[in-house]
Amino acid sequence: MEERSRPAVLINPSSWWMPEKNTLRTRLLAATQSIGAVVIALLAGLVIEQLLHVENVLLVFLPAVLFAALRFGLAVASGVSLLSVLASSFFLAEPRFSFAVADPDGVWALAIFLIVASFTSNLAAQARERAAAASYHSQVAEH
């Protein structure tokens, strides 16, 4: 029988998008890119609030949560969800520059956002894990 040699290292073609290793560098990358996504979402929320006069722009943070879930997984996405709620409460909700929320509807909106962000980040993290597994299995099948 012919013995098939197994490659020493399988290269994930999407490794630039989904880092695999849990190193300090990867964790710093996750933190900086996730915080950057929240800052971009916050700036977009401020612009939308000023231009369109929309009171509740909390949903602008959802793409940041999905980005974190797809790129780094569920743990980072959960942190982004919490950071998004804090940023929205501090910069977008009245009274400004305070974590107090004057409107009871604002508290409900923040709570519902956390629930929706948790569900969507969980789904996105599962999709990320399945894509990584499919990539691995296709590389194993090729060799």
What's the CA angle centered on 49, arms 40 and 92, to 5 degrees?
70
pLDDT tens track for 46-58 = 999 999 988 789 9
For the stretch 32-46, what's the b/e string if a residue is b when 16 or more beta carbons lie within 10 angstroms of its beta carbon?
Answer: ebbbebbeebbeebe
* Whether 70 contacts 121, CB under 8 Å: no
pLDDT for residue 62: 94
Residue type, 124: A
pLDDT for residue 24: 86
pTM of the model: 0.77
Backbone angles phi, psi at 46, to 5 degrees: -65, -40
* Residue 15 in this model has a pLDDT that exceeds 70: no
* Burial group, residue 53, by CB count within 10 angstroms (0-12, 13-18, 19+): exposed
* Whether 88 contacts 107, CB under 8 Å: no
pLDDT for residue 134: 86
**Average of pLDDT values for 96-103?**
87
